[in-house]
């Protein structure tokens, strides 16, 4: 993790703390992603247990997520220390890819190897730190798949009697699959590739920034899944963009009896 401080007069220690804190924000994304799927499972399958997310329990969830993120910050700050070798490697990358000087950045070096007596040896402290990071990531993706599959099967066993309900179930199925795939593409796969590359002593140079960009795209891309797949939401957005008014209510007569009928898309209401 590299933090540019060219425009700010940060001290070395402050820049390092900020770099480690940014890593903690990254961890928070993984944790919130897992909690999101857990919450959605209870909303869809066990709404009677939503008390787990209310009152004091809500505070417990927040504290738990912050604790995991703080542990990531602590590990990044304590176990991934700077030394002469990491500084030289960083200076080469900065001068080659970014035209920056070492004095203008703060960083947390994720480096698996060090050179001792002309031999490449593993950095055990860094290895322990990476194991911690991978554990958080794996627990997150495990929770996503576990609760995602449970939600999928629960919705699948709800037999809708009307065509509207069956269509809505199909839309929910599609949205669930896509929302599970998006973080795999934008978060887990890029970061796993980056970690494996570092483990085999490889580097991507400036291309490693693609991982950061994709991580930031995930929170923005995720809501659009629901907006575009669920037809009711999609029609609402379309009507808003086209400046269309709300559905009109018409008066019809059936066998001499006057009734009101709403002219709506069959999927404009979600049951």
CATH at residue 94: 1.20.1070.10
Cα separation, 259 vs 251, whole angstroms = 6
Render pLDDT for 200-219 as a digit per residue (tens, 0 to 9): 766 776 677 788 788 778 87
Q: Range of 10's domain?
A: 2-229
**Residue 241 domain-assigned?**
no
**Residue 217 domain-assigned?**
yes
pLDDT at 270 over 70: no
**Residue 131 domain-assigned?**
yes
**Residue 247 domain-assigned?**
no
**Residue 254 domain-assigned?**
no
Tell me which range, 11-25, 69-83, 212-226, is most confidently predicted by mean pLDDT: 69-83
**Residue 47 domain-assigned?**
yes
**Residue 244 domain-assigned?**
no
More confident residue, 9 or 126: 126
Banded model confidence at residue 250, pLDDT cuts 50, 70, 90: very low
Render pLDDT for 77-104 as a digit per residue (tens, 0 to 9): 888 888 888 888 777 777 777 777 777 6
Task: Output the average pLDDT for the chain.
Answer: 78
Banded model confidence at residue 249, pLDDT cuts 50, 70, 90: very low
Closest CA to 211 of 228, 181, 227, 189: 189
User: Is pTM beyond 0.75 here?
Assistant: no
Other CB atoms closer than 10 Å to residue 162's CB: what's the count? 10
**Residue 251 domain-assigned?**
no
Banded model confidence at residue 4, pLDDT cuts 50, 70, 90: low
Instruction: Report the domain count for the chain.
Output: 1
């Amino acid at each position: 993790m590299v933090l540019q401080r060219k425009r700010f007069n940060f001290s070395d220690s402050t820049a390092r703390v900020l770099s480690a804190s940014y890593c903690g924000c990254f961890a928070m994304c993984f944790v919130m992603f897992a909690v999101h799927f857990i919450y959605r499972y209870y909303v869809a399958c066990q709404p009677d247990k939503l008390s787990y997310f209310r009152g004091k329990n809500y505070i417990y969830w927040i504290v738990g997520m912050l604790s995991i993120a703080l542990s990531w910050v602590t590990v990044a700050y304590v176990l991934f220390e700077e030394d002469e070798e990491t500084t030289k490697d960083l200076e080469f990358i900065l001068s080659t890819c970014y035209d920056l000087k070492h004095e203008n950045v703060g960083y947390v070096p994720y480096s698996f190897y060090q050179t001792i007596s002309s031999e490449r040896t593993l950095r055990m402290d860094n290895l322990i730190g990476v194991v911690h990071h991978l554990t958080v990531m794996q627990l997150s993706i495990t929770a996503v798949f576990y609760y995602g599959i449970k939600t999928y099967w629960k919705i699948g066993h709800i037999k809708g009697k009307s065509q509207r309900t069956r269509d809505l179930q199909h839309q929910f199925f599609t949205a669930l699959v896509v929302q599970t795939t998006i973080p795999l593409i934008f978060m887990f796969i890029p970061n796993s590739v980056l970690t494996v590359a570092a483990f085999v002593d490889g580097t991507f140079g400036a291309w490693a920034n693609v991982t950061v960009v994709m991580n930031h795209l995930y929170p923005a891309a995720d809501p659009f899944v629901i907006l575009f797949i669920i037809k009711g939401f999609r029609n609402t957005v379309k009507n808003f963009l086209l400046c269309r008014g709300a559905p009109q209510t018409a008066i019809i007569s059936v066998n001499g009896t006057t009734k009101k009928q709403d002219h709506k898309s069959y999927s404009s209401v979600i049951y």
